[in-house]
Structure 1
């Protein structure tokens, strides 16, 4: 007669592992393996310990040995494939990890951990649509889906899909209406979607419920600025910067609103500090913001130099060098880079440019051609049509 219940000898060991008692778990797993060499669940347990200790290569080898054993039930085999997939992912083998985790999902489609891990693999592979779908399935399988939906909302927001982000964050807020952090996430998504009125209400509520953080205040300050509440925006962003003094993003936000209220010296000093301290995008944004101040004050030499930072912000790249203004016989491509109004304004500089170099002009519309100054047509090549973003070279 078969027993009604079977005893799992690894259960006490996994219980130790789940509460962080790695030494106790290891002792129990080793004791099982001493009596039953090659016991697959104990090998899997040792693999989990190896992963917890950052020894992912060892984990991969141990799970491989475990999976060679016969008679493993689908649910246990699925858990082994999750461990294998996460270890492979940590070792940089994203495609192999995806394959292992896909097996886990097939074996145990009701296990949210399998879908969550598969989502991680898709993220590393850059397959963001599939990553979001995996996380959606994870959330649907969980009793408390707040963490996963928060992550899913963040992915939607990063990808510019603000409506979907708002939908995910609303579900979290509905589940946790007193959670300030959840409200802060919803407010940020509403701001991204230009729903400024509701965003402000939600962010103020988030602050009341304990999420008065630099991040929340930065979002609130930007919302207030969008609503034209400039004095309130100044105060809010100043508080945010006090909470996180070295955050270049918040400093840029504050500097921008200081410009709007005419406090140009303070704004310029703030941008200057960011340029010295920060690197890459925030420094480029601060330099561009400062350029608008300098150009507005007629400080053209400095202003135009700083204005070149737009190339970083707009992602403008070119395989050929920018023209330095020198004379010569090599032609220079002059490309419309910004709006029609700017292009009309800068047509007047073509006369001087044509004196120095032959020009190849690329205009979006034929109307611009009619506004061109009188130029030596032998030194001009005019092309029309849709332009790719390029620099003057």
Structure 2
């Protein structure tokens, strides 16, 4: 995510909780397990049922159905290893026993042995080609292996066999969403809802897909339906708060996060999402405090275990050695590494562990700061702090942000790039129009639309690291040099940035880099921007050399680009 947007991941849960990638929303995924064979008396406690089946096996040790039933009871008791052993005995007695293979696969999934589970489901299907449940469960295992295309195919076969298969529609929707195919995902959730309209989790999942499509009003309607069906469902209130935030309905969003926390006071995802809203609104005191909740979310953001005390500003660090470690994206680290100088002023010896691509650049921070490589032994230290916790540790408010430029470009690399660019005859403008290619990225602008800025009286240089073939062709036709192919790391990007008269960027790491270097930079922001850009201002307290150009309506890049065009024209006259 560009600039490492700190937001909580869409969570898909079933009988056990499943946690996909870092984003904002929580969802519910029902992982269908083959219904266990009924015990001798279905009203019996599981322990009694198990005992009865074991007695039955003692009386008739060649009865495969008894081993199968015993295995299913063991699954319900979460004794998965014993269950697998029982299913193996059933299969040994009846090698074509498809339900036993299927239930064995479920037990293997519970133990996170997903490759073995897929193989076991394949055996179930080999003996029963029309086994819809095995195809669906196989899809679940493939999804857990991030083999989403294969999972989608497996769910499709289950649905072909059982057109009303709610779980398969829902779980296929989750895989489609993971691939960024949000329209198809939404359709699958709607198909699941048609089969099971009173299931709150399905409406929640549909809401998540609609958020990814930017259909926030429709998403809120889905979440409201889920809440009506299940009023004590904290995930939905949290997701609803995120959708409301995207519509800038901030008071309602805060209320929705509050309802999630009233139902689940230790709901760290909701606390974290609430933090993002507080920070966006400039409420830094409570925002930084709540932001620490990211460390306790299911994604475990910035919660590395170093075996040393965590420092959050409560103790004197004079004479101490502190390790500062990176988290989230490149932009986050570039933005917050400014606090390293405050650690030095407080009398600490600083060890800094940035991402590999930032390592060379970060050596410009301070000659006395020890930049640690990931593949080396970390020297002894007394305390540690994540780089994104430093604003909290220093009790930062808008008026106390350390805002002077704090990174410099390597002089030799600057000279090298100056030679590559040749004699300057026009104002030079570096451009970045897209961030990381994660699904639902509303910060990026299509190059076909962005190209309207390419005024021939200016020299434009692409600072993108990677471009598609189509983008490369468009840049060539527009006479724009693409420099990213020659970037080894961010120290090259920095060297080129300082040779620009202006950088124009969407919200991505290069915007932070230009600001940290003190290079004039115009940042183009979407309607509901990331928290660090605050609201209703065209400057940034984080970067004095930065101007902000905001969308005036959801998805309205045209008005943003029109304003930038006019400003460029004025710059030419100046």
**Structure 2-normalised TM-score?**
0.52
State the distance in 2 between where 1:104 and 1:306 align.
53
Query: In the alignment, is residue 102 of structure 1 matched against residue 56 of structure 2?
Result: no
Q: How does 1:26-41 map to 2 (within 5 A)?
A: none
The verdict on how the C-alpha distance between 1:140 and 1:331 changes in structure 2, with shifts beyond 3 A counting, is same
Gaps of 5+ in 2: 1-36, 378-382, 387-574
Contact persistence 2:173–2:188 (CA under 8 A): yes
The structural deviation recorded for 1:298 is: 1.5
Whether 1:54 and 2:38 are equivalent positions in the alignment is: no
| 1:70-111 C-alpha deviation (Å, 9 max, x unpaired) | xxxxxx443444355456666776445433432332332111
CA gap 1:125/1:218 in 2 versus in 1, 3 angstroms: closer
- Find the aligned partners of 1:19 and 1:248 in 2 and give their Cα distance: 33
Q: Is residue 2:319 matched to residue 1:329? A: yes
Q: RCO higher in 1 or 2 (8 Å CA, sep ≥ 6)?
A: 2
Superposed CA deviations along residues 279-314 of structure 1, whole A, max 9, x for unmatched, are 65xx11111111111111121111111111111233
Q: Is the 8 A contact 2:114 2:144 kept in 1?
A: no
Corresponding residue for residue 371 of structure 2: 382
Alignment RMSD: 3.4
Residue from 45, 51, 64 that aligns with 2:58: 64
- Moved segments of 4+, more than 6 Å: 18-21, 48-53
> What's the offset of the Cα at 1:226?
1.3
Residues paired across the two proteins, number:
336
Larger Rg: 1
In structure 1, the residue matched to 2:108 is: 122
Whether 2:245 is the aligned partner of 1:251: answer no
Out of 362, 366, 385, which is 2:359 matched to?
Answer: 366
Q: Matches of residues 174-213 of structure 1 in structure 2 within 5 Å?
A: 174-178=160-164, 182-209=168-195, 211=197, 213=199
What is the CA–CA distance in structure 1 between the aligned matches of 2:43 and 2:257, rounded to whole Å? 49
**Correspondence for 1:302 among 281, 286, 292:** 286
CA apart distance, 1:255: 0.8
| Aligned positions of 1:3-18 closer than 5 A | none
Q: Deviations over 1:236-286 (max 9, x none)?
A: 222222222221221121111101000111111211222232165xx1111
CA distance in 2, matches of 1:228, 1:57: 54
Point out where structure 1 has 5 or more consecutive residues left out of the alignment: 1-17, 23-47, 68-75
Match of 1:233 in 2: 219
Q: State the partner residue of 2:269.
A: 285
Contact kept in structure 2, 1:60 and 1:87, CA below 8 Å:
no
Which structure has more strand as a fraction of its residues? Answer: 2
- Distance change in 2, residues 1:57/1:176 (3 Å): closer
Give 3-state SS (helix, strand or coil) of 1:334's partner. Answer: strand
Q: 1:235 to 1:95 in 2, by over 3 A?
A: closer
